[in-house]
Amino acid sequence: MKKVAIVLSGCGVYDGAEIHEAVMLLYACQKEGAEVSFFAPDIEQADVVNHLDGSSAKGGRSVLVEAARIARGNIAPLSEFDPARFDAMFFAGGFGAAKNLCTFAFDGDGCSVNPDVERAVLGMADLGKPQGFVCISPAIAARVLGGRGVRLTIGTDASTASALEKMGAKHVNCAVDDYCFDEKLNVYSTPAYMLASNTVELFSGIFKMVSAALK
């Protein structure tokens, strides 16, 4: 049984992990027979958003504590992630990936990446193990692996693709039901809710990506 890590960035599309994408990743991994472990950085969220009306909400929230909602409490701080113990790693999308795991939502191509996230991505890359990035989370790969010329996709949005390429990545336009594969770096990516209008479209691309990464 392959061991897979899924990295979350909180809970909720506007300030954390996109819940549908996280669940689809979990389902796809388990359908492929993998044992899944959840991780998230033990940090405060960059902001808190009222998901009912999109307004800013008062008070801070913990990325790890909020992500535990999706993981049903079975989650560990990303600082404890050991690349040697896992066969693959996947990142769910959602604004949290671009706000909490990195600062792409605020800083664009000048963004920085959370140190634990960077260590995890580099650790898997150095071991040649597969990594999958969903929705906007390829921005993380672009920043961390852009110097290695990583190929990836966020779908077809030209402005976002341009920002990723400014970080050294090679962007590939991709349909919602497909994925991009960088054979050299063993990096997978799929547009998910960057293009999807429903969960059927969402699952198609995620499942294809996960199946290919875990074959």
pLDDT at 60: 92
- Per CATH, the number for 3-214 is 3.40.50.880
pLDDT at 164: 98
**pLDDT tens series, the chain, 215 aa:** 999 999 999 999 999 999 999 999 999 999 999 999 999 999 999 999 999 999 999 889 999 999 999 999 999 999 999 999 999 999 999 999 999 999 999 999 999 999 999 999 999 999 999 999 999 999 999 999 999 999 999 999 999 999 999 999 999 999 999 999 999 999 999 999 999 999 999 999 999 999 999 99
CA dihedral 33, 2, 132, 113 (to 10 degrees): 130
pLDDT at 152: 98
Burial of 91 (0-12, 13-18, 19+ CB in 10 A): buried
Residues in Cβ contact with 7 at an 8 Å cutoff, skipping those fewer than 6 apart: 38, 39, 40, 78, 89, 90, 91, 92, 101, 117, 120
Residues assigned a catalytic role? 135
Distance between CA atoms of residues 203 and 209, nearest Å: 10
| Locus of tokens 């027979």 | 33
Residues in Cβ contact with 176 at an 8 Å cutoff, skipping those fewer than 6 apart: 155, 191, 192, 195, 196, 201, 202, 204, 205
Spatial contact of 78 and 120, defined as CB atoms under 8 Å apart: yes
What's the alpha-carbon Rg for the chain, to the nearest Å?
15
pLDDT at 204: 96
pLDDT at 80: 98
pLDDT at 124: 98
Taking alpha carbons only, the member of 4, 5, 8 closest to residue 32 is 4
Length, in residues, of the chain: 215
pLDDT at 137: 98
Distance between CA atoms of residues 167 and 202, nearest Å: 27
pLDDT at 197: 96
Domain boundaries, the chain: 3-214
